[in-house]
Structure 1
Amino acid sequence: MPQEQIIDGVKIISIDICKIMERTWNPSSLTLKRQILFPIAVLFNMPETFDIYHGHIYSSGLIANYLARRSGGVAVNTIHGSYYPIWNKLTNPIAAQCYRIAERILAPALAKFSDIQLHTGDYFAQQVISWGAPKQKIRTIHNGADITRFNPHIPHATVPDHVSIDPSLPVILTARRLVRKNGIDYLIRAMRSVCREEKCQLVIIGEGEERDSLERLAHELHVQDHVHFLGMIPHDKLPPYLALADIAVVPSLVEASSIFMLEAMAMAKPIIATNAGGLPEILPPSAGIFVEPMDEIGLADAILELLRNKEKRLQLGKQAYHHVQDNYSWKAVAQQMESEYMRLLTEKKAQAEQLPDIPFV
């Protein structure tokens, strides 16, 4: 039976069948198995009729289109970025080619079928248009940050006793899923050069399949005393840990509009990010430093530059804070989303009113 709960005043109905959604849940990644099984859980629960069916990624985008057509509702599909540019770096050549072909087929097809396709990174929106998707059906709405929960006035977290963070040393911090595409290995390699010249420490928040190999890498490079893995921290408890940071780093190989980066900006942290995917779309040069993906030397140089220049750190953090306040609060993002919903509903109603009456014979 569907499970109902109220979160922040919104009714959430969670559906499952034979616990397949529960069994395929993975907090660090959206597995292919879960995407394949999700339509089964939806169809066997036969959800009630809604005005808008908003599917995220591919399988839920397909099911949203099916349900919208069945009930006469609006079909919305969101694509949260893509690994298309780097699939060959994440898996074997055959699998990489299969994933790339699947994206080239599914992304533009879903754009054609849906009333609108939303993207959280314009880099992939433009890619999908180049594959033949109707330009008028593509919109980019970047992610946002909770600027009330994440702000420069949050006090530092009390670090657990088993984590030996030195409060007297600068903290470089990243909060990422520990998977290959997020480039944490390049950040750890950069720390080898940084620690030779400056005393500092890297704090890594998150879990994922790469954790064991990343911890081994830190030992192999003899930086294990300067790299602290804190594991998964619940999102509502993250702000005090982010408050520890002197510098926030997003070393991804590809990324849409990183929520972690926006939250760090909302807390007035200077940003070092890779010039990858949608990151340059939300981080102006006045609020951070860009390096190329997989460039451990560039990462090290950028970190050293900010460690040695407190005034620049403060200036970048100030610019980052104002940029998020002005453009990327969740309220602003919600208003963009609501505007698209209302436009689509108005168009759907107008189309229905234009249909001619068919007399009964």
Structure 2
Amino acid sequence: MNAETGISIVTPFYNQTEVFWETYQAVVNQTFINWEWVIVNDGSNQKASLSVLKKLNTLSNKKIKVITLPQNMGLPAARNHGVKQSLFDFIFFLDSDDLIEPDYLEKAFITLQINPAFTFVNSWSTGFGAKNYLWQAGFDKKEKFLQQNWVAFAGLFRKSIFTRLQFNEVQKNGLEDWEFWLQAAAHNYWGYTIPEYLFHYRIHDNHQNKWANWDNGIEQKRITRRFQAKYRLLKKQFPNPQKQLYPSFANLPSLSGMPAPTGSKKTVLIVLPWLELGGVERFTLHYMAAMAQVYDFIMVTTNAGAHSHEAEFKKYCKQIYHFASIADGTAYPIIWNYVINTWSIHLLVISHSQPAYYILPYLKETYPLLAVTDILHLVEENWKQGGYPKIAIDYSVYINKHIVANNQIYEWMADRGVASKKLQTIYINVDTKNIQPVDEAVKFSKKKAFFKLQSDHQLVLLFSGRLTAQKNTLLLPDIAAILAKKGISFIMAIAGDGPERELLEEKVYQKKLHRYFSYLGPLSHTANIEAIQLADILVLPSAWEGIATVIYEAMAAATPVVATNVGGQQELIEPGTGIVIPVTDDLSQFVETFSGKLETLAGDPVLRKRIGEASRERVEKYFDISLTHSNLQILFEQLLSQLEPGIAPLSQSDTIQNYYQNISSWKQEQLLPSAPNWKQRRVIKIIKRVYKVFTRKRPLQYVWTK
């Protein structure tokens, strides 16, 4: 048995109840399979607990061993005994009533193997039971550990640390964990917190009784002062380990301790930048749901992010790896190898991920039989000379087939040298069975309450999407101002959020249009569909698009659309099924034209109804999502049946050099302040609200930006 390739789980057990079996299930269902479980019975004497231990012994699981101490010696002593009895070079501490996600051991193991500067690793956590909460504080708090203990004691450790440190068996009642972290820092050991909720901490009704020292009063202050005095040198110099940088492929370690894949289905690896729920991610989620019975899906994300919709993707895939959570971009090749080898990947599907394109020369050289396709949603002329379609052209030689979401992208790529046989148009389409028009009577009864209208007869012009320059968000007040002058009774409902939210609000206030605007904020998918169904007109003055998902959805709901003829949107909206308007350099003329079309629709309910019905009929007949899934599955099967090696024209040295040059540029792009400082924005928002209350004014934007 190789001690370097496994994990010893150490669990102190003292008078635990039947809830232990929940912890048991969490351990035995780990994706990482090379583990042993050292359970230290710390002098349990209650009948129910002894019954649990007896049942555990009858299971005859060779990976589990129970060590019984002669008497109750306390949590620190139990942990020390467990470490001494462990076989492997990595120790995972887990209390006997807490829970872990199935992939916690695997991700923690990968993180420590890739990043030698980290001595231990934990994760974000949740609290459950008597109290529920989310906890994101971790080892990034560093010197703030002198003020309090920020984390529960669960995570993976290098066993080597215990040659110099042990748990202080005198410290109990919650102090043992806190002092261990401070001791580790004093010996220049520190760790990393994986930004994923992989650990679940059980809260009992009598939880506070366990920690007598935490009284939020005199005793707690005394303990804090004592630790701060004892470890005062940490104020000046606290360890600050970083993710490992790998300057070349030659330095890359190989990952061991891989989980064993199960199942007979072919495995498809899907790559996205993150797991939010924009149009690209929603399309991916839908086809995964439709084909989950046919393929095993593994997912990779390459960019740092909140991944707020991960739970929805987990329903349809066997594993998700967030590369940025566990490694620097220079270390990604290690994880690519790990994932492809571990899960026997047959097909790689890329959607809007730069690092996935950059690694293709290496992957096709290393895995020549790996089939590769990418899915391209729009051309962005103002970014990298065409956006992802341009990047795809640069790497086309390594890609078996380009899937494009409209014919405009097809023609754009063909004009730039991509062979027609490598291109296939598959429209995103829409689920016309689940998104249907709302009966007029139902719409009338619900619309006023949903949009908080002042009158039953107000028209609802809905904008749904990210508040960005791409969507021409800041033209909405100009359009609304013209409609208001015409005396039209309407509300412009804004469903979404984004970097231009405050600029939009400011422009609305400057034009004194606030009574015409309603901010719904970011809505769930279900709520957004309801907004579309209840709205009178969908408004989308985008500067560039592929085909906006929200247009498909509005047409399915028989809500008339006024949009721009950018990208492939005219392929969907033909005459009589909606209105498309050319985007011109003369923005004032564009706004006049756009508002004029809205005025016509606003004054003609019969025309709105006719366009809505025609648009519904068109998408139901030609753009139902079942066609998308059928075409995708046929293409996937074709790619999976091709066993010919791909082309790898670059030498290995060129492959390596190109990857590191590109990934270095990409890392620099990630550091640019493209995202807002949300904490700063919250403070400014509070100040603005106070200002408005006392002055009844809206401050000009430049005051706050300065």
CA distance in 2, matches of 1:142, 1:39: 35
CA change 1:308–1:126 in 2 (3 A) is same
Matched residue, 2:379: 82
Work out whether 1:233 is the aligned partner of 2:523. Answer: yes
Instruction: Tell me if the contact between 1:58 and 1:107 (Cα under 8 Å) persists in the aligned partners.
Output: no
CA distance in 2, matches of 1:188, 1:152: 28
CA distance in 2, matches of 1:39, 1:227: 47
Pick one of 607, 615, 620 that aligns with 1:320: 615
Instruction: Tell me if the contact between 1:178 and 1:211 (Cα under 8 Å) persists in the aligned partners.
Output: yes
Runs of 5+ in structure 1 lacking a partner? 28-32, 88-95, 353-361
CA distance in 1, matches of 2:638, 2:465: 35
CA distance in 2, matches of 1:102, 1:263: 25
**Cα deviation, residue 233, structure 1:** 0.3
Pick one of 253, 276, 281 that aligns with 2:543: 253
Pick one of 506, 520, 532 that aligns with 1:242: 532
Instruction: Tell me if the contact between 1:207 and 1:231 (Cα under 8 Å) persists in the aligned partners.
Output: yes
Q: Please show how residues 58-97 of structure 1 align to structure 2 within 5 Å.
A: 58-59=353-354, 60-63=356-359, 66-67=362-363, 70-71=366-367, 72-84=369-381, 87=382
Q: Please show how residues 135-174 of structure 1 align to structure 2 within 5 Å.
A: 135-153=420-438, 164-166=452-454, 167-174=456-463
Matched residue, 2:573: 283
Work out whether 1:300 is the aligned partner of 2:595. Answer: yes
Instruction: Tell me if the contact between 2:401 and 2:424 (Cα under 8 Å) persists in the aligned partners.
Output: yes
**Cα deviation, residue 171, structure 1:** 0.6
SS in 2 for 1:286: coil
Matched residue, 1:55: 350
CA distance in 2, matches of 1:14, 1:176: 25
SS in 1 for 2:395: helix
Pick one of 395, 406, 413 that aligns with 1:121: 406
CA distance in 2, matches of 1:341, 1:8: 15
**Cα deviation, residue 146, structure 1:** 1.9
SS in 2 for 1:144: coil
CA distance in 2, matches of 1:340, 1:100: 28
Instruction: Tell me if the contact between 2:378 and 2:389 (Cα under 8 Å) persists in the aligned partners.
Output: no
CA change 1:214–1:288 in 2 (3 A) is same
CA deviation profile, 1:143-199 (whole Å, cap 9, x unmatched) = 111222211037559689896433431111121111101112223211111112211
Runs of 5+ in structure 2 lacking a partner? 1-105, 108-197, 199-260, 262-284, 310-322, 646-706
CA change 1:232–1:37 in 2 (3 A) is farther
- The structure with more radius of gyration: 2
Pick one of 462, 477, 480 that aligns with 1:191: 480
Instruction: Tell me if the contact between 1:174 and 1:203 (Cα under 8 Å) persists in the aligned partners.
Output: yes
Matched residue, 1:339: 634
Matched residue, 1:355: none
Q: 1:190 corresponds to which letter in structure 2?
A: I
CA deviation profile, 1:52-73 (whole Å, cap 9, x unmatched) = 1101125234446754664412
Instruction: Tell me if the contact between 1:189 and 1:296 (Cα under 8 Å) persists in the aligned partners.
Output: yes
TM-score normalised by the chain length of structure 2: 0.43
Instruction: Tell me if the contact between 1:185 and 1:214 (Cα under 8 Å) persists in the aligned partners.
Output: yes
Work out whether 1:44 is the aligned partner of 2:332. Answer: no
CA distance in 2, matches of 1:194, 1:280: 25
CA distance in 1, matches of 2:289, 2:390: 37
Instruction: Tell me if the contact between 1:248 and 1:271 (Cα under 8 Å) persists in the aligned partners.
Output: yes
Q: 1:165 corresponds to which letter in structure 2?
A: L
CA change 1:39–1:116 in 2 (3 A) is farther
CA change 1:64–1:335 in 2 (3 A) is farther
Matched residue, 1:92: none
Matched residue, 2:563: 273
**Cα deviation, residue 201, structure 1:** 1.1
Matched-pair identity in %: 17
CA distance in 2, matches of 1:207, 1:160: 22
Instruction: Tell me if the contact between 2:380 and 2:386 (Cα under 8 Å) persists in the aligned partners.
Output: no
CA change 1:145–1:101 in 2 (3 A) is closer
Matched residue, 2:605: 310
Instruction: Tell me if the contact between 1:55 and 1:63 (Cα under 8 Å) persists in the aligned partners.
Output: no
CA change 1:39–1:146 in 2 (3 A) is farther
Q: 1:260 corresponds to which letter in structure 2?
A: V
Work out whether 1:220 is the aligned partner of 2:510. Answer: yes
SS in 1 for 2:418: coil
CA distance in 2, matches of 1:312, 1:142: 27
CA distance in 2, matches of 1:158, 1:39: 53
CA deviation profile, 1:64-105 (whole Å, cap 9, x unmatched) = 675466441210011221211xx2xxxxxxxx6xx2287686
CA change 1:339–1:160 in 2 (3 A) is same
CA distance in 1, matches of 2:401, 2:596: 42
Q: 1:44 corresponds to which letter in structure 2?
A: I
CA change 1:273–1:248 in 2 (3 A) is same
CA change 1:40–1:160 in 2 (3 A) is farther
Instruction: Tell me if the contact between 1:170 and 1:246 (Cα under 8 Å) persists in the aligned partners.
Output: yes
Matched residue, 1:359: none
Matched residue, 1:30: none
CA change 1:78–1:164 in 2 (3 A) is same
CA distance in 2, matches of 1:297, 1:101: 29
CA change 1:76–1:14 in 2 (3 A) is closer
**Cα deviation, residue 236, structure 1:** 2.5
Root-mean-square deviation (Å): 3.3
Q: Greater relative contact order: 1 or 2 (C-alpha under 8 angstroms, separation 6 or more)?
A: 1
**Cα deviation, residue 263, structure 1:** 0.3
**Cα deviation, residue 282, structure 1:** 1.1
SS in 2 for 1:249: strand
**Cα deviation, residue 290, structure 1:** 1.4
Matched residue, 2:146: none
